[in-house]
Amino acid sequence: MKKLIVFTLLLLSITMIQAQLKYPAAKKVDQVDDYHGTKVADPYRWLEDDNSADTKAWVTAENAVTFDYLSKIPYRNGFKKRIEELSNYAKFSSPQKKGEWFYFYKNDGLQNQSVLYRQKGLDGQPELVLDPNKLTKEGTTRLIGFVLDKQGRYAAWGISKGGSDWQEYYVRDMQNGKDLTDTISWVKVSGIAWQGNGFYYSRYPATAKGKELSTKNENHQIWYHTVGTKQSTDRLIYEDPKNLQRFHTISTSDDERFAYLVISDRGKGLDGNALWVSDNQASDKSFKPIVAEPSNFNYNVIENISTDLFIETNDAAQNGKLIKVSIYHPEKSNWKTILPEKPEPLTSVSSVGGKLFANYMKDVTSRIYSYDFEGKLQSEVKMPSLGNAGGFGGEQTDRFTFYSFSTFNYPSTIFKYDIGTGKSTVFQKPSLAFNPSEYTVEQIFYPSKDKTMIPMFIVYKTGLKKDGKNPTILYGYGGFNISSTPSFSAALIPWLEQGGIYALANIRGGAEYGEKWHEAGMKLKKQNVFDDFIAACEYLNNKKYTSKDYLAIRGGSNGGLLVGAVMNQRPDLIKVCIAQVGVMDMLRFQKFTIGWNWIADYGSSDHKDEFESQYKYSPLHNIKAGLQYPATLITTADHDDRVVPAHSFKYAATLQEKNSSKNPILIRIDTNSGHGASNTAKNIETMADIYSFILFNMGVAPKF
């Protein structure tokens, strides 16, 4: 009887709140574009101008509606409090050694940003190096790079403000811990590569004031900065005015002898890179090609032994391999294979202590092996269970290294690995109230529309009854050769505690099974990605994990595109959609910031065949008037200069206009955040709102 009363009151509350919903008025303009003879209306084009008074007024009004709705959900604060409780434990990064010092990051629990420390030896007393929490009152400035020179005397470090991809660099004297006067601006898509008394970095020309977060970024340049000087005196190293949409980045060898110039041209649809090398000890220090022009093959330098480079590549090896190339005899006929291609994709190779460590992915879990530099297998690094591992970095003289391991029910733990004995010992284990045995992790394989078998992880509280009534979040990404691997998140536990299920579908477009898996979800084959995700919805429903009344789909960025497209195609399968910072306008994405970088994966509306494919699934352009859409929460942020908020703005306005159901269509626009939450507090608030919105619209009342 008590459950019935609670359920009845909840339904009344939902009905009352939804009846009061009134979306802000959004004007429409007569904007029509011609794509290869097809006329496409874009009535909310004005929302692309994030600085206009009309857009700002619309954003304010939409947020008022959204946060008023969320504030009335009775258990919103309960979720927020529980996520905070479970997230409040110390988190450490793996240490990185430089001379006698070990550098590491630590978050005490709920700090907005992790803090950088160092200590002498593994048993030394930690001392503070940089605390980004003190840089701004709101705690939304992130430390995005800290790189020491060869001697460890100077460090170049960078920040981003409010979640933007723009970066600023500074220089610190590590002998006295004080910053010099060096300030470097307009940095984006860059590394820090020391050589001599300065470092290389990549930047764009300055944009017009007020247009920093939306202007199309072109002419990526490499500069060299000398310590103790002004940026105005920096030396231009490389640019390519004939190819304005190329990326140019530099890294240097550990001994700083070699500089590696990487050039990519994703704006022309190429998924790989060119590789050029400069020898600082040669009389001619100009860059010489290993691979002269970008293609669809990647070349990533792992290590050098004298003038031989060890390069990870997918050239003639879809799953990846490691080759050795002489700098002074770079012809392909001289390349020597060290680690040949295997059936499992090679996800990374690192080098430390005179060994190579190769990370292979088997059914979306890590397998780590050590080899000598001739490619002879030394040993397998045994993991605690099936999960995700990374690390194994350091210098050739090191006798030990570190790696981290985690999975859904195994919090991220740092291990110390003895290179000589091959033995792993726990170095840093998190201390939190969590019992792995209380949660079950399954990996299943289900058939997609074309019968391709797709892996999926399903996580839930042990003993959960599969009766079709379990609130379920299905998450996916499916793009850009990125794998969605199992990892631990304290923020997930409150969802599982309330009887929720979390499912992660490893759909095509990612790297889970190598380049062939990626290519099967690119460009004209993008519909495979949506079919894979739809099949995951059907599997979860058919197998009674959940049902259409209790299934929510969630995705961010390319995953936002995913759930937007799937909701258009199969709204009957789902109850709630959470679309975060999504690429919703597939016809104009390339016109903002670095959106042209995605052409390699998506194609471009400038080409007729690719336009026709994109137009069929573009979330914005396939919203149908009169269709009953699920409850939808769209999230974006004012400082997202990767997927500009205009995507979500136009999508929300169109969906609010055309939806015929009583389900809420809300957009949550964060401030001082970017493509992801800019600090811990904002991330917790966002997750609490997502969980609350989902359960409220499913008519489920959690217990707190």
Region at 463 (left for phi over 0; alpha for psi -120 to 50; beta for the rest): left
Sheet with 472-475, side-by-side order of all strands = 439-447, 453-461, 501-505, 472-475, 551-556, 576-580, 631-637, 665-670
Tens of pLDDT, residues 329-373: 999 999 999 999 999 999 999 999 999 999 999 999 999 999 999
pLDDT of residue 310 exceeding 80: yes
Distance of CA 278 to the CA centre of its chain: 31
Residue 322 backbone dihedrals phi, psi, to 5 degrees? -115, 130
CA distance 269 to 246: 11
Percent of the chain clearing pLDDT 70 (strictly above): 97
Tens of pLDDT, residues 579-625: 999 999 999 999 999 999 999 999 999 999 999 999 999 999 999 99
Tens of pLDDT, residues 86-108: 999 999 999 999 999 999 999 99
Buried residues in 476-491 as b, exposed as e (16+ CB within 10 A): bbbbbbbbbbbbbbbb
How high is the pLDDT of residue 704? Answer: 82
Smallest CA-to-CA distance from 165 within 132, 214, 129 is with: 214
Do 330 and 307 touch, CB atoms closer than 8 A?
no
Q: Which residue has the tokens 């095509």?
A: 508
Do 298 and 313 touch, CB atoms closer than 8 A?
yes
CA distance 563 to 575: 12
Q: Clarify whether 557 is annotated catalytic.
A: yes
- Catalytic residue, candidates 557, 604, 618, 673: 557
CA distance 410 to 424: 17
Do 470 and 500 touch, CB atoms closer than 8 A?
yes
| Local structure of residue 573 (DSSP, 8 states) | G
The amino acid at 468: G
> Strand (E) positions, 178-292?
178-187, 193-195, 198-203, 221-226, 235-238, 247-252, 258-264, 273-279, 288-291
Query: How is residue 700 written in tokens?
Result: 């489920």
CA distance 598 to 311: 25
How high is the pLDDT of residue 19? Answer: 60
Q: Is 552 helix (H, G, I), strand (E, B) or coil?
A: strand
Query: How is residue 479 written in tokens?
Result: 């793009």
Strand partners, 143: 159
Which residues fall within 8 angstroms of residue 316, CB to CB, at 6 or more apart? none
CA distance 574 to 578: 11
- Catalytic residue, candidates 248, 518, 621, 675: 675
CA distance 46 to 40: 15
CA distance 564 to 570: 10
CA distance 143 to 135: 10
How high is the pLDDT of residue 3? Answer: 52
| Local structure of residue 329 (DSSP, 8 states) | B
CA distance 397 to 353: 5
Average pLDDT over residues 413-434: 95
- For residue 16, name the pLDDT band (cuts at 50, 70, 90): low
CA distance 453 to 288: 44
Q: Which residue has the tokens 């069929």?
A: 616
Q: What's the pTM value of the predicted model, to 2 decimals?
A: 0.95
How high is the pLDDT of residue 18? Answer: 64
The number of beta carbons lying within 10 Å of the beta carbon of residue 136 is 17
